[in-house]
Amino acid sequence: MIESLNFHRHGDKKNSEFFETYLIRLLEERDRVGLTELIREIDALMITVEPGRSTEHIAELCLMTPYHYLVTLESESHLTHIMRIDLDSPDLLVREVKDPNIRGIFRSLNAVYPIGSYKPYSRYMGEVLRVTDLHGVVRLQREREFRFFSQDDIRRLELPGNLAVSKPSPYTHNIVAYLEREPSDLRVYALGWSSIRSNVQEAYLAAKELQKRLRIDTLILPIDHLATRVYSQNREVAILEYLSWSSYYYWGSYYIKDQNSSTNVTKSVHHSQEFRSPAKVFTANNTPYFVNHLEKLPSPTETFVRNYGPRLHHIAVSVRDGETDGLENIEYVVNAIRQQGKDFLLDVIGSKEQGLKQIFSSASEHSSLIIEYVQRYGDFNGFFAKDNVAELTRAAGVEEELLEMEAQAVRISQ
């Protein structure tokens, strides 16, 4: 039996007695009832974009990541575009509503947040986890008081009918879905009519040709981690909840004093390599927003959550270690993409001595997601250097302030 508590703990962030007590109890019970063995890697990520913007977002992703456009599944109200690297890495499901007047549950999660409501369909939805016994996993999770959409709900939401889909988390607003599949089987999503759409295919091929011409196609590797931002008071429960839904373990937490936040990492018990199942990172303020006027502390993470709602902040993509034309590969990739008009929030930061270099792109106008690039040196297996995280968090906070002013200007003009 896998023992989820036997992994080495990292970090310097101190957790509450509640967290440490229930971390042990929840993971021991998860192992004992067999859920750790039944729930495997992340099979797919689900994103929803603004109406009419999926083709542009797919082109953007095909340039900035290793993903390829595979096929489009068309249902009555939605287009779901399937993107894939290979069967060793998660798929991307890019979902677009046909009629902008449709107001579903995922749009409502944006509605009460000033920047979130500005782009009501732009959000990350959640992950699809591969399981070996769908009925058994759902039964065990329901016995633990976890809630799922009914099959009627899934049909109304026009999600794949072969998924078991959780209700959105009260802490992250993300969903978790389960898909039963053997490792040797193809991923299949039971939804609508399948076709290769000519406009999407043309945009995809053009992006991949550009990627090849820029000589970055072999330098950009699969997803490294997924970073979600939550309210300060929900840090510990968001982590514990995700560990309960998944077969991940608690890797550790770091205290980022300069930006009044903490970075908290969970990883798959089944795969040590992130490209097989990306790490899940949770970032939160150390203090709630309403004490900032007293403490005079920076608050970029809490500000992001108040502007967008709790949600995924960025998808981190690995860059191959090495150099191209005398530049570190990450510098070469970023320079090439910058020349195509894509903005980044800062220059590449980090060093070989620290073990890695990192950078954030600007938020996508189509999905509101940021792409992070990470290049590790040698056998460095960490996720960040403290100074890097502080600078990345500060830069993201500056952009969020500008986006908030832009959203306010739009509301005034209306």
Domain boundaries, the chain: 37-212, 216-413
Looking at residue 346, the DSSP 8-state letter turns out to be S
Residue of higher predicted confidence among 390 and 381: 381
The answer to whether the 37-212 and 216-413 domains have the same CATH topology is yes
pLDDT at 406 over 60: no
Identify which has the larger pLDDT, 336 or 378.
Answer: 336
> What type of residue sits at position 404?
E
Q: How confident is the model at residue 384, as a pLDDT?
A: 64
Neighbouring C-alpha atoms within 13 Å toward the C-beta of 263: 24
Q: How large is the average pLDDT for residues 101-119?
A: 87
**Cα gap 412→408, rounded to integer Å:** 6
Q: 103 pLDDT exceeds 80?
A: yes
Contacts of 109 (CB under 8 A, 6+ apart): 116, 123, 168, 173, 309, 311
CB count, 10 Å around CB of 195? 12
Mean pLDDT of 2-9: 93
- Determine which of 198-212, 226-240, 333-347, 395-409 has the lowest per-residue pLDDT on average: 395-409
Strands 10-11 and 261-268: unpaired
Mean pLDDT along residues 401-410: 46
Q: What is the mean pLDDT of the chain?
A: 91
Stretch 9-27: mean pLDDT, rounded?
96
Question: Which percentage of the chain shows pLDDT scores above 90?
Answer: 75
Which one, of 66, 103, 98, 102, lies nearest residue 80 by Cα? Answer: 98
* Per-residue pLDDT, 392: 65
Q: What's the fold here for domain 216-413?
A: 2,3-Dihydroxybiphenyl 1,2-Dioxygenase; domain 1 (3.10.180)
What per-residue confidence (pLDDT) applies to 391?
Answer: 64
- Going by C-beta distance under 8 Å and a sequence separation of 6 or more, which residues neighbour residue 243? 4, 23, 26, 27, 30, 249, 250, 266
> Tens digits of per-residue pLDDT, 252-299?
999 988 888 999 999 999 998 899 999 999 999 999 999 988 988 888
Question: Which tens digit of pLDDT belongs to each residue from 293-334?
Answer: 898 888 889 989 998 999 999 999 999 999 999 999 999 999
CA 245 to chain CA centroid, nearest Å: 16
- What pTM, to 2 d.p., does this model score? 0.92
Task: Read off the pLDDT of residues 134-177 as tens digits, 9 standing for 90 and up.
Answer: 999 999 999 999 999 999 999 999 999 999 999 999 999 999 99
3-state percent helix, strand, coil for the chain, nearest multiple of 5: 35, 30, 35
What value does the mean pLDDT take over residues 50-73? 97
At 379 the pLDDT is 77
Residue 258: per-residue pLDDT: 82
Whether pLDDT at 389 is above 80: no
**What pLDDT sits at residue 413?**
45
What pLDDT score does 388 carry? Answer: 60
Name the more confident of 165 and 116. 165
**Contact at 8 Å (CB) between 277 and 42?**
yes
What is the average pLDDT across 79-94?
97
3-state SS, residue 189:
coil
Cα end-to-end distance, the chain, whole Å: 59
The answer to whether domain 37-212 has CATH 3.40.50.300 is no
With 90 as the cut, is the pLDDT of residue 354 above it? no
Q: Assign 118 to helix, strand or coil.
A: coil
Task: Give the pLDDT of residue 405.
Answer: 41
